[in-house]
Amino acid sequence: MDGPLIAVLGAGQLGRMLALAGYPLGLRFRFLDPAPQSPAGQLAELIVAAYDDAAGLERLAAGATVATYEFENVPARATEFLARRLPVYPPPRALEVAQDRLAEKTLFRDLGIPVPPFAPVDSWQGLLDGVKRIGLPAVLKTRRFGYDGKGQWVLRSADDLAPAWAALGSAPLILEQFVPFDRELSILAARSTAGQIACYPLVENHHHEGILRLSIAPAPGLDEQTQHLAHEYARRVLERLDYAGVLAIEFFQYGAQLLANEMAPRVHNSGHWTIEGARTSQFENHLRAILGWPLGDTGAVGHCAMLNIIGDLPPVAAALSVPGARLHLYGKSPRPGRKLGHITLVEPSEEALRVRADLVRLLASQAAMASHGDFGFWIGDLAIDDCGLTVRQWQAGRLALQWTRAKSPGLISSLSHAVMRDLSLRSHSGRRSRLKAWSSIPASRSAASSRRRLKNCLLL
Protein backbone atom coordinates (compact mmCIF):
# COMPACT_ATOMS: atom_id res chain seq x y z
CA MET A 1 0.00 0.00 0.00
CA ASP A 2 1.22 3.49 -0.81
CA GLY A 3 2.15 5.65 2.16
CA PRO A 4 0.73 9.11 2.88
CA LEU A 5 1.40 11.75 0.21
CA ILE A 6 2.74 15.07 1.54
CA ALA A 7 2.06 18.15 -0.62
CA VAL A 8 4.67 20.85 -0.04
CA LEU A 9 4.62 24.50 -1.08
CA GLY A 10 8.22 25.37 -1.87
CA ALA A 11 10.95 23.01 -3.02
CA GLY A 12 14.13 24.46 -1.56
CA GLN A 13 16.65 22.78 0.68
CA LEU A 14 14.17 22.55 3.56
CA GLY A 15 11.77 20.62 1.37
CA ARG A 16 14.63 18.43 0.24
CA MET A 17 15.51 17.56 3.83
CA LEU A 18 11.85 16.93 4.65
CA ALA A 19 11.75 14.34 1.86
CA LEU A 20 14.98 12.73 3.03
CA ALA A 21 13.49 12.41 6.52
CA GLY A 22 10.17 11.13 5.25
CA TYR A 23 11.22 8.38 2.87
CA PRO A 24 12.35 5.99 5.65
CA LEU A 25 8.84 6.42 7.13
CA GLY A 26 7.20 5.32 3.88
CA LEU A 27 6.01 8.80 2.94
CA ARG A 28 5.67 10.21 -0.55
CA PHE A 29 6.17 13.83 -1.60
CA ARG A 30 4.97 16.28 -4.23
CA PHE A 31 6.34 19.83 -4.40
CA LEU A 32 5.25 23.08 -6.05
CA ASP A 33 7.79 25.80 -6.75
CA PRO A 34 8.19 28.41 -9.50
CA ALA A 35 11.90 27.55 -9.92
CA PRO A 36 12.49 24.51 -12.16
CA GLN A 37 15.91 23.76 -10.63
CA SER A 38 14.70 23.65 -7.02
CA PRO A 39 16.67 21.28 -4.74
CA ALA A 40 13.71 19.12 -3.72
CA GLY A 41 12.90 18.49 -7.37
CA GLN A 42 15.91 16.19 -7.51
CA LEU A 43 14.14 13.82 -5.10
CA ALA A 44 10.41 13.98 -5.81
CA GLU A 45 7.72 15.14 -8.22
CA LEU A 46 7.99 18.88 -8.83
CA ILE A 47 5.17 21.02 -10.19
CA VAL A 48 6.70 24.15 -11.68
CA ALA A 49 4.15 26.90 -11.20
CA ALA A 50 3.63 30.16 -9.37
CA TYR A 51 2.56 29.81 -5.76
CA ASP A 52 -0.82 31.39 -6.55
CA ASP A 53 -1.44 29.42 -9.74
CA ALA A 54 -4.83 27.75 -9.20
CA ALA A 55 -4.23 24.91 -11.66
CA GLY A 56 -0.85 24.16 -10.10
CA LEU A 57 -2.32 24.16 -6.61
CA GLU A 58 -5.07 21.78 -7.72
CA ARG A 59 -2.42 19.40 -9.06
CA LEU A 60 -0.46 19.70 -5.83
CA ALA A 61 -3.48 18.83 -3.71
CA ALA A 62 -4.80 15.97 -5.84
CA GLY A 63 -4.67 12.75 -3.81
CA ALA A 64 -2.51 14.28 -1.05
CA THR A 65 -3.00 13.41 2.62
CA VAL A 66 -1.86 16.74 4.05
CA ALA A 67 -0.18 19.94 2.85
CA THR A 68 2.63 21.93 4.40
CA TYR A 69 5.11 24.63 3.36
CA GLU A 70 8.85 25.08 3.68
CA PHE A 71 9.09 28.80 2.90
CA GLU A 72 7.31 31.48 4.92
CA ASN A 73 6.99 33.91 2.03
CA VAL A 74 4.54 31.76 0.08
CA PRO A 75 1.25 33.69 -0.30
CA ALA A 76 -1.08 33.01 2.61
CA ARG A 77 -3.95 32.81 0.11
CA ALA A 78 -2.25 29.77 -1.46
CA THR A 79 -2.46 27.92 1.88
CA GLU A 80 -6.08 29.04 2.26
CA PHE A 81 -6.83 27.68 -1.23
CA LEU A 82 -5.32 24.34 -0.24
CA ALA A 83 -7.08 24.33 3.14
CA ARG A 84 -10.44 24.14 1.34
CA ARG A 85 -9.30 20.85 -0.18
CA LEU A 86 -7.19 19.10 2.45
CA PRO A 87 -5.63 19.70 5.89
CA VAL A 88 -2.83 22.32 5.85
CA TYR A 89 -0.28 22.54 8.65
CA PRO A 90 0.97 24.78 10.07
CA PRO A 91 -2.43 26.53 9.76
CA PRO A 92 -2.71 29.50 7.40
CA ARG A 93 -3.24 31.81 10.38
CA ALA A 94 0.28 31.04 11.63
CA LEU A 95 1.69 31.94 8.23
CA GLU A 96 -0.25 35.22 8.14
CA VAL A 97 1.11 36.25 11.54
CA ALA A 98 4.71 35.31 10.71
CA GLN A 99 4.58 37.25 7.44
CA ASP A 100 3.83 40.55 9.18
CA ARG A 101 6.36 41.69 11.77
CA LEU A 102 3.80 43.99 13.39
CA ALA A 103 1.27 41.16 13.81
CA GLU A 104 4.07 38.91 15.05
CA LYS A 105 5.30 41.34 17.70
CA THR A 106 1.72 42.06 18.75
CA LEU A 107 1.07 38.33 19.21
CA PHE A 108 4.18 37.96 21.36
CA ARG A 109 3.21 40.95 23.49
CA ASP A 110 -0.38 39.73 23.92
CA LEU A 111 0.94 36.35 25.12
CA GLY A 112 3.17 37.97 27.74
CA ILE A 113 6.36 37.20 25.82
CA PRO A 114 8.85 40.09 26.20
CA VAL A 115 9.72 42.01 23.02
CA PRO A 116 11.74 45.16 22.36
CA PRO A 117 9.61 48.34 22.22
CA PHE A 118 8.14 48.74 18.73
CA ALA A 119 5.92 51.04 16.70
CA PRO A 120 4.26 50.84 13.27
CA VAL A 121 5.60 53.30 10.69
CA ASP A 122 3.43 54.26 7.73
CA SER A 123 4.73 57.75 6.97
CA TRP A 124 7.72 60.02 7.39
CA GLN A 125 5.99 61.69 10.34
CA GLY A 126 5.29 58.24 11.76
CA LEU A 127 9.01 57.50 11.62
CA LEU A 128 9.83 60.75 13.44
CA ASP A 129 7.20 60.01 16.07
CA GLY A 130 8.46 56.45 16.49
CA VAL A 131 12.04 57.57 16.99
CA LYS A 132 10.89 60.15 19.52
CA ARG A 133 9.05 57.47 21.48
CA ILE A 134 11.52 54.57 21.15
CA GLY A 135 14.78 56.47 20.88
CA LEU A 136 18.01 55.64 19.05
CA PRO A 137 19.63 53.36 18.18
CA ALA A 138 16.73 51.54 16.57
CA VAL A 139 16.07 49.22 13.65
CA LEU A 140 13.68 50.10 10.84
CA LYS A 141 12.28 46.99 9.12
CA THR A 142 9.81 46.20 6.39
CA ARG A 143 6.81 44.50 7.92
CA ARG A 144 6.75 41.84 5.21
CA PHE A 145 9.11 39.79 3.03
CA GLY A 146 12.33 40.37 4.91
CA TYR A 147 14.63 37.47 5.78
CA ASP A 148 18.38 36.82 6.09
CA GLY A 149 18.88 40.49 7.00
CA LYS A 150 16.98 41.91 4.03
CA GLY A 151 14.63 44.85 4.43
CA GLN A 152 16.32 46.28 7.54
CA TRP A 153 18.17 49.49 8.35
CA VAL A 154 19.93 50.28 11.64
CA LEU A 155 19.34 53.86 12.75
CA ARG A 156 22.21 55.01 14.93
CA SER A 157 21.74 58.77 14.63
CA ALA A 158 19.27 61.27 13.20
CA ASP A 159 21.38 61.36 10.03
CA ASP A 160 20.31 57.78 9.25
CA LEU A 161 16.60 58.53 9.10
CA ALA A 162 16.40 60.07 5.63
CA PRO A 163 18.44 57.40 3.77
CA ALA A 164 16.57 54.64 5.61
CA TRP A 165 13.23 56.15 4.65
CA ALA A 166 14.37 56.56 1.05
CA ALA A 167 15.37 52.89 0.92
CA LEU A 168 12.42 51.33 2.74
CA GLY A 169 9.63 53.92 2.90
CA SER A 170 7.65 52.56 -0.03
CA ALA A 171 6.47 49.60 2.11
CA PRO A 172 4.70 49.35 5.49
CA LEU A 173 7.37 49.42 8.21
CA ILE A 174 7.96 48.70 11.86
CA LEU A 175 10.46 50.47 14.11
CA GLU A 176 12.05 48.43 16.90
CA GLN A 177 14.39 49.45 19.67
CA PHE A 178 17.93 48.22 19.07
CA VAL A 179 18.81 45.55 21.62
CA PRO A 180 22.45 45.28 22.83
CA PHE A 181 21.93 41.57 23.34
CA ASP A 182 24.41 39.16 24.87
CA ARG A 183 23.71 36.49 22.27
CA GLU A 184 21.08 35.20 19.85
CA LEU A 185 19.20 32.03 20.70
CA SER A 186 16.45 30.03 19.04
CA ILE A 187 14.01 27.40 20.22
CA LEU A 188 12.58 24.75 17.94
CA ALA A 189 9.33 23.24 19.12
CA ALA A 190 6.95 20.73 17.58
CA ARG A 191 3.23 20.31 18.24
CA SER A 192 1.19 17.49 16.76
CA THR A 193 -2.41 17.63 15.58
CA ALA A 194 -3.21 15.72 18.78
CA GLY A 195 -1.74 18.53 20.91
CA GLN A 196 1.50 16.81 21.95
CA ILE A 197 4.39 19.29 22.36
CA ALA A 198 8.13 18.60 22.31
CA CYS A 199 10.96 21.15 22.41
CA TYR A 200 14.60 20.90 21.40
CA PRO A 201 17.44 22.40 23.47
CA LEU A 202 18.01 26.10 22.96
CA VAL A 203 20.48 26.88 20.18
CA GLU A 204 23.09 29.67 20.11
CA ASN A 205 23.25 31.34 16.69
CA HIS A 206 25.92 33.48 15.06
CA HIS A 207 24.98 35.72 12.13
CA HIS A 208 27.01 37.84 9.76
CA GLU A 209 25.43 40.36 7.41
CA GLY A 210 22.03 39.02 8.45
CA ILE A 211 22.78 35.44 7.41
CA LEU A 212 23.10 32.56 9.85
CA ARG A 213 26.66 31.21 9.82
CA LEU A 214 26.93 28.96 12.87
CA SER A 215 24.57 27.25 15.31
CA ILE A 216 25.73 25.56 18.52
CA ALA A 217 23.46 23.15 20.36
CA PRO A 218 22.79 22.92 23.19
CA ALA A 219 23.65 26.59 23.67
CA PRO A 220 26.84 26.84 25.79
CA GLY A 221 26.39 27.87 29.40
CA LEU A 222 22.66 27.23 29.25
CA ASP A 223 20.83 27.19 32.57
CA GLU A 224 17.66 25.24 33.22
CA GLN A 225 15.61 28.36 33.96
CA THR A 226 16.33 29.91 30.55
CA GLN A 227 15.53 26.66 28.76
CA HIS A 228 12.25 26.37 30.68
CA LEU A 229 11.36 29.98 29.87
CA ALA A 230 11.89 29.38 26.12
CA HIS A 231 9.75 26.22 26.30
CA GLU A 232 6.96 28.13 27.99
CA TYR A 233 7.02 30.94 25.42
CA ALA A 234 6.94 28.41 22.56
CA ARG A 235 4.01 26.58 24.19
CA ARG A 236 1.99 29.80 24.39
CA VAL A 237 2.46 30.50 20.68
CA LEU A 238 1.76 26.92 19.62
CA GLU A 239 -1.46 26.71 21.58
CA ARG A 240 -2.74 30.19 20.66
CA LEU A 241 -2.35 29.41 16.92
CA ASP A 242 -3.64 25.81 17.25
CA TYR A 243 -0.37 24.95 15.59
CA ALA A 244 0.80 21.65 14.11
CA GLY A 245 4.34 21.17 12.84
CA VAL A 246 7.73 22.60 13.83
CA LEU A 247 7.95 26.23 14.91
CA ALA A 248 11.15 28.25 15.41
CA ILE A 249 11.28 31.33 17.63
CA GLU A 250 14.40 33.51 17.65
CA PHE A 251 15.31 35.34 20.84
CA PHE A 252 17.75 37.97 21.98
CA GLN A 253 19.23 37.01 25.35
CA TYR A 254 19.81 40.13 27.41
CA GLY A 255 21.01 39.18 30.87
CA ALA A 256 18.47 36.73 32.27
CA GLN A 257 15.78 37.96 29.90
CA LEU A 258 14.67 36.45 26.59
CA LEU A 259 13.27 38.98 24.10
CA ALA A 260 11.38 37.47 21.17
CA ASN A 261 12.68 38.70 17.81
CA GLU A 262 10.74 36.70 15.23
CA MET A 263 9.26 33.31 14.47
CA ALA A 264 9.33 30.98 11.49
CA PRO A 265 6.33 28.65 10.97
CA ARG A 266 8.40 25.86 9.46
CA VAL A 267 11.54 23.79 9.90
CA HIS A 268 14.45 26.16 10.38
CA ASN A 269 18.12 26.61 9.49
CA SER A 270 19.09 26.72 13.16
CA GLY A 271 17.66 23.22 13.53
CA HIS A 272 19.74 21.47 10.87
CA TRP A 273 22.02 20.14 13.61
CA THR A 274 19.18 17.84 14.67
CA ILE A 275 19.73 15.53 11.67
CA GLU A 276 22.80 14.02 13.32
CA GLY A 277 22.72 15.74 16.70
CA ALA A 278 19.27 14.88 18.08
CA ARG A 279 17.50 11.59 18.61
CA THR A 280 14.78 12.75 16.20
CA SER A 281 15.44 15.43 13.59
CA GLN A 282 13.28 18.53 13.23
CA PHE A 283 12.31 17.30 9.76
CA GLU A 284 11.02 13.95 10.97
CA ASN A 285 9.18 15.57 13.87
CA HIS A 286 7.54 18.07 11.52
CA LEU A 287 6.21 15.19 9.45
CA ARG A 288 5.12 13.25 12.52
CA ALA A 289 3.34 16.34 13.83
CA ILE A 290 1.32 17.15 10.71
CA LEU A 291 0.29 13.51 10.31
CA GLY A 292 -0.83 13.23 13.93
CA TRP A 293 1.83 10.64 14.76
CA PRO A 294 3.61 10.55 18.15
CA LEU A 295 6.52 12.98 18.31
CA GLY A 296 10.06 11.67 18.63
CA ASP A 297 12.63 12.33 21.33
CA THR A 298 14.13 15.82 20.93
CA GLY A 299 17.16 15.27 23.18
CA ALA A 300 20.66 16.06 21.91
CA VAL A 301 23.08 13.15 21.53
CA GLY A 302 26.15 15.33 22.14
CA HIS A 303 27.51 18.84 21.67
CA CYS A 304 26.70 19.95 18.13
CA ALA A 305 27.71 22.64 15.68
CA MET A 306 26.12 23.41 12.34
CA LEU A 307 28.16 25.59 9.97
CA ASN A 308 26.47 27.00 6.88
CA ILE A 309 28.28 26.92 3.55
CA ILE A 310 27.70 30.34 2.00
CA GLY A 311 28.43 31.60 -1.50
CA ASP A 312 30.85 28.95 -2.78
CA LEU A 313 31.58 25.28 -2.19
CA PRO A 314 34.62 23.87 -0.40
CA PRO A 315 36.17 20.71 -1.90
CA VAL A 316 34.13 17.72 -0.73
CA ALA A 317 37.20 15.63 0.03
CA ALA A 318 38.68 18.36 2.21
CA ALA A 319 35.45 18.82 4.19
CA LEU A 320 35.11 15.09 4.73
CA SER A 321 38.71 14.85 5.93
CA VAL A 322 37.62 16.44 9.22
CA PRO A 323 36.89 13.54 11.60
CA GLY A 324 33.17 13.35 12.31
CA ALA A 325 32.15 16.05 9.83
CA ARG A 326 28.83 15.40 8.08
CA LEU A 327 28.44 17.31 4.83
CA HIS A 328 25.05 18.25 3.36
CA LEU A 329 24.94 19.87 -0.09
CA TYR A 330 21.68 21.21 -1.46
CA GLY A 331 22.29 20.90 -5.20
CA LYS A 332 22.33 24.69 -5.70
CA SER A 333 24.65 26.66 -7.95
CA PRO A 334 27.08 29.01 -6.16
CA ARG A 335 26.47 32.73 -5.88
CA PRO A 336 27.40 35.32 -3.24
CA GLY A 337 25.32 35.13 -0.08
CA ARG A 338 23.55 31.91 -1.08
CA LYS A 339 23.17 28.98 1.31
CA LEU A 340 24.64 26.00 -0.56
CA GLY A 341 24.88 23.43 2.21
CA HIS A 342 25.98 22.87 5.76
CA ILE A 343 28.41 20.83 7.81
CA THR A 344 27.41 19.25 11.11
CA LEU A 345 29.74 18.19 13.91
CA VAL A 346 28.76 16.18 16.99
CA GLU A 347 31.29 15.77 19.80
CA PRO A 348 31.21 14.50 23.40
CA SER A 349 32.37 17.82 24.91
CA GLU A 350 32.20 21.55 24.17
CA GLU A 351 35.99 21.77 23.93
CA ALA A 352 36.27 18.97 21.38
CA LEU A 353 33.45 20.56 19.40
CA ARG A 354 35.19 23.95 19.33
CA VAL A 355 38.43 22.46 18.03
CA ARG A 356 36.67 20.58 15.25
CA ALA A 357 34.65 23.67 14.33
CA ASP A 358 37.83 25.74 14.01
CA LEU A 359 39.20 23.22 11.54
CA VAL A 360 36.00 23.23 9.49
CA ARG A 361 36.10 27.03 9.35
CA LEU A 362 39.62 26.81 7.96
CA LEU A 363 38.49 24.47 5.22
CA ALA A 364 35.44 26.59 4.48
CA SER A 365 37.67 29.61 3.90
CA GLN A 366 38.67 27.98 0.64
CA ALA A 367 35.34 29.09 -0.75
CA ALA A 368 36.28 32.67 0.08
CA MET A 369 39.59 32.24 -1.74
CA ALA A 370 37.84 30.85 -4.79
CA SER A 371 35.53 33.84 -5.01
CA HIS A 372 37.91 36.59 -3.94
CA GLY A 373 41.35 35.02 -4.27
CA ASP A 374 42.84 37.72 -6.46
CA PHE A 375 43.88 39.86 -3.51
CA GLY A 376 44.46 37.69 -0.50
CA PHE A 377 43.65 34.98 1.98
CA TRP A 378 42.27 35.06 5.50
CA ILE A 379 41.87 32.11 7.83
CA GLY A 380 41.25 33.50 11.25
CA ASP A 381 41.98 32.38 14.79
CA LEU A 382 42.45 28.63 15.02
CA ALA A 383 42.42 26.60 18.20
CA ILE A 384 44.56 23.51 18.58
CA ASP A 385 44.92 21.10 21.43
CA ASP A 386 47.48 18.51 20.39
CA CYS A 387 50.01 17.67 17.74
CA GLY A 388 47.56 15.52 15.77
CA LEU A 389 45.14 18.38 15.32
CA THR A 390 47.98 20.76 14.57
CA VAL A 391 49.13 18.54 11.74
CA ARG A 392 45.61 18.47 10.36
CA GLN A 393 45.50 22.24 10.50
CA TRP A 394 48.76 22.32 8.55
CA GLN A 395 47.43 19.85 6.01
CA ALA A 396 44.26 21.85 5.66
CA GLY A 397 46.32 24.94 4.93
CA ARG A 398 48.20 23.06 2.22
CA LEU A 399 44.93 21.89 0.68
CA ALA A 400 43.61 25.45 0.79
CA LEU A 401 46.60 26.81 -1.07
CA GLN A 402 46.61 24.01 -3.62
CA TRP A 403 42.94 24.55 -4.36
CA THR A 404 43.41 28.33 -4.57
CA ARG A 405 46.22 27.93 -7.10
CA ALA A 406 44.02 25.64 -9.18
CA LYS A 407 41.12 28.09 -9.13
CA SER A 408 43.17 31.32 -9.34
CA PRO A 409 46.54 30.58 -11.00
CA GLY A 410 47.36 34.27 -11.11
CA LEU A 411 47.81 34.57 -7.37
CA ILE A 412 51.09 36.10 -6.31
CA SER A 413 53.70 33.50 -5.39
CA SER A 414 54.45 35.19 -2.10
CA LEU A 415 50.98 34.27 -0.86
CA SER A 416 51.85 30.62 -0.20
CA HIS A 417 55.10 31.60 1.53
CA ALA A 418 53.29 34.06 3.78
CA VAL A 419 50.59 31.59 4.78
CA MET A 420 52.91 28.63 5.31
CA ARG A 421 55.26 30.74 7.39
CA ASP A 422 52.38 31.69 9.70
CA LEU A 423 50.98 28.15 9.79
CA SER A 424 54.06 26.95 11.64
CA LEU A 425 53.75 23.96 13.93
CA ARG A 426 53.59 25.30 17.44
CA SER A 427 52.12 22.76 19.79
CA HIS A 428 53.11 21.95 23.34
CA SER A 429 52.19 18.66 24.95
CA GLY A 430 49.00 19.00 26.96
CA ARG A 431 48.87 22.75 26.38
CA ARG A 432 46.54 24.62 24.09
CA SER A 433 48.07 27.06 21.61
CA ARG A 434 46.71 29.46 19.07
CA LEU A 435 47.50 29.89 15.41
CA LYS A 436 46.80 32.99 13.42
CA ALA A 437 47.13 32.79 9.67
CA TRP A 438 47.13 36.00 7.72
CA SER A 439 48.45 36.59 4.25
CA SER A 440 50.25 39.59 2.91
CA ILE A 441 47.86 41.47 0.64
CA PRO A 442 49.26 43.02 -2.55
CA ALA A 443 49.56 46.77 -2.33
CA SER A 444 46.67 48.16 -4.34
CA ARG A 445 43.78 50.53 -4.04
CA SER A 446 41.40 47.64 -3.37
CA ALA A 447 43.53 45.72 -0.88
CA ALA A 448 41.63 46.89 2.20
CA SER A 449 38.24 46.28 0.65
CA SER A 450 39.36 42.85 -0.54
CA ARG A 451 40.40 41.87 2.97
CA ARG A 452 37.00 42.95 4.23
CA ARG A 453 35.25 40.95 1.49
CA LEU A 454 37.28 37.90 2.33
CA LYS A 455 36.46 38.11 6.02
CA ASN A 456 32.80 38.48 5.19
CA CYS A 457 32.84 35.25 3.18
CA LEU A 458 33.92 33.09 6.09
CA LEU A 459 31.56 31.11 8.23
CA LEU A 460 32.40 33.29 11.19
pLDDT along the chain (460 residues), means of 10: 94 98 98 97 97 98 98 94 98 97 98 97 96 96 78 94 94 96 97 98 93 95 95 98 98 95 97 98 98 98 94 85 92 92 94 82 57 32 30 41 42 32 34 33 37 36
How far is it, in rounded angstroms, from Cα 209 to Cα 198? 32
pLDDT of residue 407: 42
User: What's the burial of 225, exposed, middle or buried (CB within 10 Å: 0-12/13-18/19+)?
Assistant: exposed
Of the candidates 63, 66, 67, the one whose C-alpha atom is nearest the C-alpha of residue 79 is 67
Tell me the C-alpha distance between 314 and 310, whole Å: 10
**What does the pLDDT read at residue 415?**
32
Look at residue 375 in the predicted model and tell me its pLDDT.
24
Dihedral angle over CA of 211, 217, 219, 224, nearest 10: 140
Residues contacting 371, CB < 8 A, separation 6+: 311, 312, 334, 336, 457
Q: Which pLDDT score is estimated for 278?
A: 98
Spatial contact of 29 and 16, defined as CB atoms under 8 Å apart:
no
Cα–Cα distance, 268 to 299 (Å, whole number): 17
Three-state DSSP class for residue 90: coil
CA distance 187 to 262: 11
Rounded distance, CA 304 to CA 272, Å?
A: 10
Closest residue by Cα to residue 6 from 259, 264, 287, 227: 287
Q: Which pLDDT value is given to residue 203?
A: 98
Helical segments of 89-223, H only: 92-98, 101-110, 124-134, 161-168
Alpha-carbon distances of 390 from 323, 362, 394, rounded to whole Å = 14, 12, 6
- Residue 222, classified by CB atoms within 10 Å of its CB into exposed (0-12), middle (13-18) or buried (19+), is middle
Q: What pLDDT is attached to residue 403? A: 41
The number of residues making up the chain comes to: 460
Q: Which residues contact 61 (CB under 8 A, 6 or more apart)?
A: 7, 67, 82, 85, 86
Q: What per-residue confidence (pLDDT) applies to 450?
A: 37
- The answer to whether 253 touches 233, Cβ cutoff 8 Å, is no
Q: Are 357 and 220 in contact (CB under 8 A)?
A: no
Task: Measure Cα distances from 310 to 146, 211, 294, 332 in Å.
Answer: 19, 9, 35, 11
What pLDDT, on the 0 to 100 scale, is given for residue 352? 87
Distances in Å between the Cα of 423 and the Cα atoms of 48, 167, 375, 398, 419 are 49, 44, 19, 10, 6
What pLDDT does 148 receive? 57
Q: b vs e for 371-386, b when ≥16 Cβ sit within 10 Å of the residue's Cβ?
A: bbbebbbbbbebbbbe
Distance CA 359, CA 376 (A): 20
Q: How far apart are CA 288 and CA 18, in angstroms?
A: 11
- Secondary structure of residue 371 in the 3-state scheme: helix
68/18 Cα distance (integer angstroms): 10
Domains defined for the chain, CATH in brackets = 5-88 (3.40.50.20), 117-177 (3.30.1490.20)
Predicted TM-score of the model (pTM): 0.82
Angle between helices 161-168 and 124-134 (to 10 degrees): 130
Nearest to 343 by CA among 429, 276, 420, 254: 276
pLDDT at 274: 98
How many H helices and E strands in the chain?
15, 19
Task: Look at residue 359 in the predicted model and tell me its pLDDT.
Answer: 73
CB atoms within 10 A of CB 286: 31
Alpha-carbon distance of 358 to 381, in angstroms, equals: 8
